[in-house]
Copies of this chain bind each other. A is one copy, B any other.
Amino acid sequence: MASLPVSPLAPDRFPDLPHIGGVTLATGKAGVRYSGRTDVMLAHLDPGTKVAGVFTRSKTRAAPVLDCEAKIGASSDSGAAFVVNSGNANAFTGRYGAEATQAITGAVAAALDLPESRVFSSSTGVIGEPLPHQRITDRIGDLAAQLAPDGFEQAARAIMTTDTFPKGAGTTVTVGGQPVRIAGIAKGSGMIAPDMATMLAYIFTDAIIDQRVLQSMVAALTATTFNCITVDSDTSTSDTVLVAATGASGIPATENDLGFIEGLRRVMLDLAHQVVRDGEGATKFVEISITGAVSEVDARKHAMAIANSPLVKTAIAGEDPNWGRIVMAVGKSGADAERDRMTIWFGDILVARDGWVSPDYDEARAAAYMKNQELTIHVDLGLGGGTATVWTCDLTHGYVDINADYRS
């Protein structure tokens, strides 16, 4: 397909990311599907690096996801590598898919002198077509020779599919008075309704951290970051988040280092938000905030029912403060609600309370608010202490255009 115009919600530029010791990167043009652009990314991680990961729970998850799941969590002090291609997801490709994944991870292991169990691969793109893996393995030698520090922006570009901008986020936090750095990249634009993880994200830190501690942190933080975004309610077969802690800073971090945890959370949330900002056809970035639900689980159900409703999303596209559709979505969510205890705000505009439109509601003011590019919709259920916040985008002609001819 023709390349798409950059999302109006894109950041001004790719951020300056901190240098992460122990990480080197390379990108190349394997021609898996796209021509004239990079489509393969290799990351090498020094010996001692701990790797944590969370993956889609789709029942039809792709071959590289199954391979990563089998490898994650094993204790090892050897180096490691991530290898990622765009253009083909190697999903629903039967036994051939597993063979293709093994060919790629084997080639990386040989080129970098690593155990194959320490090479984690991802593939993203079309589902159900055989991955021409030799185009990738043919490039591994060159990529290994080109590995260099930094280069996160190039890496983020190589893993894009329908993405319209490369996604990166980073921060430097203080652990025991010493600086520890975190940097990550992600891709994702459509088929976004993560279930345990979203799309592809690779995050690097120079902290020293135990693998099981890192795994627990990443899983917990995923619940309120990547798992709280939705573009179109469709869950990818390839969702993968991999986090590598190289230890190059010499600074140990534990489950008690709240500054580190908060820094990691900020990077994950920033990347998750960038995926929504690049939602296929998106023109609005929308935060859906729920309070007063019976439980956290109920709050999330309400939030996701609103965020995934095609009627809510098309109304937002039309800049229509159609709060009746918010009421509809809450009503269908399956979670507890009482019509006469609900309160709804668009931004700071009180729209409805006590089961009806607020007497002070001013439709013209609400319509003006809806013209903003960033919107907040807040529903208080008035029932309990359950809260949730999720992020989504609008549903526009652009989404239909992109997806009606994705394979043509």
Give A contacts to B, CB under 8 Å: 56, 58-61, 89, 91-97, 126-129, 190-191, 193, 195, 232-237, 308-311, 314-315, 317-318, 320, 322-325, 327-333, 335-340, 342, 352, 354-357, 395-397, 399-400, 403-408
The contact of A400 among B191, B400, B403, by CB within 8 Å, is: B400
Whether B127 and A94, one on each chain, are in contact in the complex, defined by CB atoms closer than 8 angstroms, is no
* CB-based contact A58/B403 at 8 Å: no
Residues of B within 8 A of A234 (CB): 309-311, 325, 328-329, 332
Q: Is the CB of A235 within 8 A of B356?
A: no
Q: What distance in Å separates the Cβ of A343 from its nearest Cβ neighbour in chain B?
A: 12
Docked complex Cα distance between A325 and B403 (Å): 11
Query: With A58-B328, A127-B328, A320-B407 given, can you name 11 additional A-B contacts, CB distance below 8 Å?
Result: A59-B330, A60-B337, A95-B356, A127-B324, A128-B324, A234-B329, A234-B332, A236-B328, A311-B403, A320-B406, A396-B400
Most B Cβ at <10 Å: residue of A327, A332, A354, A406: A332
Residues of B within 8 A of A236 (CB): 328
**Smallest beta-carbon distance A137→chain B, Å:** 21
Complex Cα–Cα for A139 and B406 (A):
53
Please tell me if the beta carbons of B314 and A400 are within 8 angstroms of each other in the complex.
yes
From B317, B332, B340, contact of A58 by CB (8 A) = B332
5 nearest A-B residue pairs (beta carbon): A127-B324, A318-B404, A60-B331, A94-B356, A58-B331
23 example contacts (A-B, Cβ-Cβ < 8 A) are as follows A60-B337, A91-B328, A92-B355, A92-B356, A92-B357, A93-B355, A94-B340, A95-B355, A127-B327, A129-B324, A232-B311, A235-B328, A235-B331, A310-B310, A310-B399, A311-B403, A314-B400, A315-B406, A318-B404, A320-B405, A320-B406, A320-B408, A396-B400
- Bound-state CA distance A133–B260 (Å) is 60
B128–A357 contact, CB under 8 A? yes
Residue among A60, A95, A308, A333 with max Cβ neighbours from chain B (10 Å)? A60
Contact status of A59 and B331, CB under 8 A, knowing A232-B311, A314-B400, A400-B317: yes
